[in-house]
Structure 1
Amino acid sequence: MSSTISVSKKRKSTLDTTASYSVNNAKKNKMSKLPKSPGDELHMMTKKEQVEESDTTSEESTDQESEDEGSDTQEAEADELVTVKQELSNMSFEELIQLKERLGLKVYNQVVHGDKVKKPTSKRVFKRENKNRPMEMSSKRPVRLSKESDPAKKKMTRDPRFDDLSGEYNESYFKSNYSFLYDIKSREKEKIKKTMKKEKDPEKKVELKMLYNRMDQQEQSEKQKDKRKTLEKEWKKKEQSQVKEGKKPFFLKKTDLRKLELAEKYKELQKSGKLENYLSKKRKKTAQKEKKKLPLMT
């Protein structure tokens, strides 16, 4: 500890001496720059010559002295550093930590390791010799897991159902081109019905029944859509013919369309002889709804 403190004190003393020397030189230069009277020019010239000679001799002597002092101080510092390192090697790890806390990390490193080694300012640039090779990354920095190796070569999946490149959906065009799918569906429905009758496991039977009902509902809804479209087409044809005759055009509302659908339904039920059953069921439903609306008798 004493040796390290002495080293730092000596370094401070050398810095003080150099600072005082530079201050004195600056003062001399300022004094020499001050304006003089014209009568004393010759006298000053001779004096200047004498001063210059004395300055050169003094500078030579001071340079030699400073060189000698510098070499002596360097040798002394080197000897002291060697002794300090020897003392530090004999110290325990706990004592070294205490010493580091007292001196500070900067002074401790200067004593133990000497002067700092300057790191190169220019950073290393990681490049690829070939564009297809993977990029060389620094091992000191953690790489993100989400980072992709080459995002440009990522495969993009395309669903033609939701892509604009496939064109707009036309229901009538689709049905005309893929009409065979409805035949396949009807066959599957018949197969499910047969397997449902043969099935003995109650859980599987329930699943098959649910599947059959779903397919049946889909089929019925498709039929209703087709009927609605045929009705609309027929109505449009009638309207076009009436407009040609000179009448005003009449546009169908949703309520009018429902009325037309009901009229068609009644006609079909009347042909099949199921109209009375349908009407009786409908009356029962309406009666139940009315009973629910009535207040409860207490």
Structure 2
Amino acid sequence: MLTGAAALTALLLAGHRLVPNRVGRLGSLLEVFLPWLGLLAAVLVGLALLYRSAAALLALLLPVAAWTHHFGALLLPAPEPGPRELVVVQHNVSDVNPDPAGTARALAAADPDLIALQELLPTALPVYEETLAARFPHHVVRGTVGLWSKYPLTGARHLDIKPAGITEPWQRGLRAVAATPYGDVAAYVAHLPSARVRASGLASGWRDESAGLLGRAVAAEPVRAVVLLGDLNGTVDDRGLRPLTARLNTAERGFAFSFPGAFPVARIDQVMARAATVRHVRTLPATGSDHLPVAARVRLGG
């Protein structure tokens, strides 16, 4: 039994793309929680030791090797800061955040170059603007998403990533160009529709459609260096985000589980890049949001 469980765990880790998505998007659902298969492998190792099963221990080398191959690099220590690096912060601040001023101060304390926010409400927006103004004099807001920058921003525009089935007003994407000391960077801020886990599986149709629209916008971006910051409501392993992960680099180190804030089990707040390297991601201390903020170091020219 332990040998069979070990083989199945290894198969799911190495062949998760083979799990079909046609029924309940089971493939995507597995990929959301894929890192946690390492915990299952650890439990199986404990059971194999308890029952002194040499065959099971040998079989468990397979899932351990598969997990290490896929996720091992994320556990390595953060690299030393290098040249041409930006620090960026991504945070869904929550539309029911009771302390927007405290949230803004907490994000600024990480001393980033760029801050991307989602779920900005008209009532809270002036608080963020006032609190961040001194250290981030440049900012743009479109709908419920915003970008604050130490450097001048130009070419700001709304990104139409609204799925066809959404009929109400909905602006959750923007693009602007930041004139950094290392050259122009096209900064994208996005908040994709939620993906819900239900008895029938993962409901992610609108999220997937929105990811496709965003991916096409990134592909058409004329500025070479691109940084995407957003609540993408999916992990980088989730095939629903393939229109983005096929075009953009993801973090080399760090898990940075960001949701839910009280007990994070997945990183759905993402920093991705083109012509740049996301060297490391980490979470920041909790704010009044149900997400944890994510900070990343991005080296341009990668």
Q: Quick check: TM above 0.5?
A: no
* Bigger-Rg structure (1/2): 1
In which range does the TM-score fall when normalised by the shorter chain?
under 0.3
- Give the structure with the larger strand fraction: 2
Structure number with the bigger relative contact order (C-alpha 8 A, sep ≥ 6) is 2
Q: Could you state the TM-score of these two structures normalised by the residue count of structure 1?
A: 0.18
Q: Could you state the TM-score of these two structures normalised by the residue count of structure 2?
A: 0.18
